[in-house]
Amino acid sequence: MKVTKTDLPKSQVELTVELSQEEFSPYIERGAESVSKEVKIEGFRPGKVPFDVLKSKIGEMTILEEAARIAINKTIDQVLLENVVDREPVGQPKVDITKLAPENPLEYKVVIAVLPEIELDDYKGLKLKPHTHAPVSDKDVEKIIDDLRESRVREVVVDREIKEGDKVTADIEMFLDNIPVEGGQGRGAAAIIGKDYIIPGFDKNLLGAKKGDTREFKLHYPENHHMKNLAGKMVEFTVKINEVYSRELPETNDEFAKAFGLNSATELKENIKKSLEEEKKQHEAQHMEIELLDKLLEKTRFGELPEMLVDHETHAMLDELEHQVAHQGAKFDDYLASIKKTRDQLLMDLFPDAIKRVKSALLVREIAIKEKITVSEKEIDEKVEQLLKQYKGYQKVEERVKSPDYRNYLKNTIANRKVIEKLTEWNVEK
């Protein structure tokens, strides 16, 4: 078997593989046997049709194509193992048969992406200042408590004038110079009086109205408003009141705390404060990690990135964004319409950050190799056991956690965390 190796752009390797006529011959026999199992020929059992009879019935090229498939499946792993030794392959190889004819050698080409070459600079001793966060305030805690109270609010339809704290459902129409604003019409929109809705001042114009009333008023949009078509302009509103609700919020007492599995209001506040503190620490660590990796990326030289890696990361980022939008209760198509972009345009916008994420992952991987940072099977087992306890009874999650692919994912995740911890230790001042 003869193999010729050629380096291609964008971290790809092309291997031209030739099996001599003599080497290919046994695969032709196996190809004929395989095809004969699928062909009914009178007088012969499936898989036992003589070669010449089979060739006359279906043509020799059909046999050769099956023989080539078998030969490639049998030889490709060895070809890759022996000829792509200095760079790790990624993704699935692309295979094309380039020569196939009776009484001739078989030739096929394999193109596979490989990880790019990386030249690491010194990745220790950056002396970065640690990120610090403001302490959690009573106001921060009260904000969370208010949100919890809102989640358990009691709303009752009332037949009276709108007062502070009420909830209103209304049909809203917005105009600029008597022309309807695109996307500015809403049916059954809900607003809470006392909380800014659309823009400051909107809710105050509804005070004193009743069900069935219509209010017309104008509001000036701030110059820095996110809706650029309305920023700095006077917008006319027509609002028809559909329903008025009184809202009764629960008191923050021990009974309220018990609804969240805690014994007292004091314990609830302490729990919230502790959670917010932990959240701030996590954000602080994330910002520190981003700054650290940015500094190291500036000092690292990369070969060309495989297209498939960047493409995969770009689509992964789009999926993450789509999941976030759905989690907030919105439709992704509506989100795209609001930013006036197509899915493909958004992918292009994500492309630079995808490149950065791929480079960061490759950088961390390279440091793990150089520093011999590894993950033991015991560490993976402990994490799997922890997840199985956490998601006990969720069959689909349990099956995924136990799968080989997820174990490999955990291995990479734990290794990355170890590298980041080491990089922080080496580069961030105490």
pLDDT at 100 exceeding the cut of 80: yes
Residue position matching structure tokens 């690292």: 300
Q: Do the domain assignments include residue 131?
A: no
pLDDT above 80 for 354 = yes
Is residue 9 one of the residues assigned to a domain? yes
Average pLDDT over residues 276-288: 93
pLDDT of residue 36: 84
Q: What angle do helix axes 60-83 and 51-58 make, rounded to 10 degrees?
A: 110
For the stretch 148-175, pLDDT in tens is 999 899 999 999 999 999 999 999 999 9
Four-residue CA torsion sign, 153, 159, 164, 168 = positive
Lowest mean pLDDT among 114-118, 334-338, 349-353, 415-419: 334-338
Domain match, 404 and 284 both: yes
Answer whether residue 402 is part of any domain: yes
CA-to-CA distance for 81 and 252, rounded, in angstroms? 66
pTM beyond cutoff 0.75: no
Same domain, residue pair 315 and 418: yes
Residues of the domain holding 97: 2-114
Q: Which two tokens stand for residue 243?
A: 């329903």
Domain ends where: 210, 229, 248?
Answer: 248
205: closest CA among 197, 214, 215, 196? Answer: 215
Token pair recorded at residue 209: 């109205």
Over 70: is that where the pLDDT of 206 sits?
A: yes
Segment 21-27 mean pLDDT: 95
Q: What is the pLDDT of residue 45?
A: 67
pLDDT, position 337: 86
**Are 108 and 72 within 8 A, CB to CB?**
yes
CA distance 159 to 154: 16
- Same domain? 99 vs 201: no
**So what's the pLDDT on residue 134?**
86
Could you say which of 198, 227, 248 is where a domain stops? Answer: 248
State the total domains in the chain.
3
Integer-rounded Cα radius of gyration of the chain: 33
**What's the mean pLDDT in 26-40?**
86
Query: What does the pLDDT look like over 214-230, one tens digit per residue?
Result: 999 999 999 888 788 88
pLDDT in tens, 236-278: 999 999 999 999 999 999 999 999 999 999 999 999 999 999 9
